[in-house]
Amino acid sequence: MVVSIWRRLIAIVHVRRERSHARYQLAVMSDRELQDCGMTRAEIAYELRRPVRRS
């Protein structure tokens, strides 16, 4: 039981780090790169304001 709790905690931390990294990558993209992805600065700004835990 304790092992499963630790595994879930590690999985949660891993997902939060992945999402944080993805948000950082979006934040540093140029307008041209965002356009190629089909995204706008407004969409990125909205995404960056969202708390990590609610993603």
Q: Which residues of 14-43 are buried (b: 16+ CB within 10 A; e: fewer)?
A: eeeeeeeeebeebeeeeeeeeeeeeeeeee
Q: What is the pLDDT of residues 14-52, one digit of tens each?
A: 988 988 898 889 889 998 999 998 988 888 888 777 776
> Which residues constitute the domain of residue 12?
1-49
Q: Is residue 54 part of a domain?
A: no
0.95 exceeded by pTM: no
Q: What is the pLDDT of residue 55?
A: 44
- Report phi then psi at 39, rounded to 5: -120, 160
Q: d(Cα 40, Cα 20) in Å, to the nearest integer? A: 19
Q: Is residue 55 part of a domain?
A: no
Q: Is residue 3 part of a domain?
A: yes
Domain count for the chain: 1
Residue 9 pLDDT > 50? yes
